[in-house]
Structure 1
Amino acid sequence: MLRLAVPYHHGDLRVALLDAAEELVRSRGVDGWSLREASAQVGVSPSAAYHHFASRDALVRALSHRILSRIGTAVRDASAAFDDPGSRIVAIGQTYVRFALDDPAVWRLAFGVDDPEAPISPHPHDILAAELDRLDLGGAVFLLWAAMHGLAALLADGLLRFDDPAAVDVEADRLVRAVLSGLAGQPGPWPTVRSAYTDRQ
């Protein structure tokens, strides 16, 4: 049975349940556990958990939002280390792909849940869009996102492999720069693309 690294203390039950759910996702996937099991990990009854989450789906949605915010923070911090807009966007791509490889089950959960009512900040989409705006390429955010996400998914699913772990960063760099170079030769306007996230803006 899983055990939390930090024991539950009164007043932190919501956070403790999210932590337990995250560990369950890592060990069993998105669908291989129940709210009752998450409750058991922190030593409380399911009825206590219901005070914070009305259902298992509500817990999964909250966890998805927390992970998306974590990804957003990671790509924002990585991009902030550079002054050049192109290098900032490369850092976003590399960090995004690394996150998927380092924590694939949690990464998959983050993008497998849709809740149009809950704001997410910082959202990785917003970080990427802001950097593309610096290059007057804001309308192409989904094209670059598709490239980044595709590489991340292929690597996380084992469909692509590198013998040298450092090659992941090199490949992400090449991919992002290739897309940016192609976009520079094809000025907009680009087709309008919508997503569940943009629909709630």
Structure 2
Amino acid sequence: MAQKANSYHHGNLSEALVSAGMTLLQDRAAEELSLRAVAEQVGVSRTAPYAHFPDKRSFLLAISAAGFQRLSDAMEARRVAERGPREQVLVFGDAYVQFALDHPNLYRLMLATMTPRNEGDGREQFPGQVQAEARRPHAILNAEFAKMVSDPARAEALSQGAWAMVHGLASLVGEELIHPHEGGVEGILRTFMDAQQRS
């Protein structure tokens, strides 16, 4: 169960609210999250969040953007300078899937904000921020594939394929529809990479 944060005293309230929202998502779905509960978690009045977020949808978009940032940071935290690009892609992919498994409610919210925009759905509040952060995981993968192949178009195709695979693995493993073999997620990704190199 999420622990109540210390009362908010100073600093960036919007960031504190987003952080509290992410904490609450550890034990509840986004649909069950309320600005009232977030305000209580931070220790501010029930109306305080509305100075930064006009409604729940805009708040969830901000959480989604922060979630993509944390995902990218989790991938980058696994970077090792001495590791070759192929091995680095495998490690990045494993980090991606592990993040999704560790934060299932947050990950589902992140994906939900990537659906086509509908007029009046609140998405226009932070479209650039969400889109920019959502593209970072792919950019991280693409940079490694660009070190392996000279053709930018092929590097892009390979990175998109890898991104699609780790996303699919995260969803399927998270729903327990597949169970990674002894080599784990990294082993599945290694098989994919081997097949791509032979193609």
TM-score tier (shorter): 0.7 to 0.9
Distance 1:105 1:81, change over 3 A: farther
The amino acid that maps onto 1:40 is E
Which position in structure 2 is the counterpart of 1:176?
Answer: 189
Query: Does the Cα contact within 8 Å between 2:5 and 2:41 map onto a contact in 1?
Result: no
| Identical aligned residues as a percent | 31
Q: Classify the secondary structure of the residue corresponding to 1:4.
A: coil
Question: Residues of 1 paired with 2:82 and 2:134: CA distance?
Answer: 21
Is 1:150 matched with 2:161?
Answer: no
Deviation, 1:138, is: 2.6
Deviations 1:54-83 (A, max 9, x none): 211111111111110111111122133542
Deviation, 1:95, is: 0.8
Q: Classify the secondary structure of the residue corresponding to 1:79.
A: coil
The amino acid that maps onto 1:113 is T
Deviation, 1:16, is: 1.9
Query: Does the Cα contact within 8 Å between 1:76 and 1:92 map onto a contact in 2?
Result: yes
Please report the TM-score for the alignment, with normalisation by the length of structure 1.
Answer: 0.79
Which position in structure 2 is the counterpart of 1:91?
Answer: 91
Distance 1:38 1:5, change over 3 A: closer
Which position in structure 2 is the counterpart of 1:22?
Answer: 22
Q: Which stretch has the larger CA shift, 58-67 or 106-115?
A: 106-115
Distance 1:172 1:68, change over 3 A: same
Please report the TM-score for the alignment, with normalisation by the length of structure 2.
Answer: 0.80
Which position in structure 2 is the counterpart of 1:126?
Answer: 139
> How many residue pairs end up in the alignment?
181
Q: Which stretch has the larger CA shift, 1-10 or 106-115?
A: 1-10
Question: Residues of 1 paired with 2:39 and 2:77: CA distance?
Answer: 33
Give unpaired runs (5+ residues) of structure 1: 187-201
Is 1:117 matched with 2:135?
Answer: no
Where does 1:157-196 land on structure 2 (aligned, <5 Å)?
Answer: 157-161=175-179, 167=182, 170-186=183-199
More helix per residue = 2
Distance 1:107 1:146, change over 3 A: same
Which position in structure 1 is the counterpart of 2:148?
Answer: 135
Give unpaired runs (5+ residues) of structure 2: 115-122, 150-154
Which position in structure 2 is the counterpart of 1:66?
Answer: 66
Deviations 1:148-195 (A, max 9, x none): 112211221222346x9xx4xx22222222222222233xxxxxxxxx
RMSD (CA atoms): 2.4
Query: Does the Cα contact within 8 Å between 1:85 and 1:131 map onto a contact in 2?
Result: yes
Deviation, 1:3, is: 4.2
Question: Residues of 2 paired with 1:127 and 1:6: CA distance?
Answer: 35
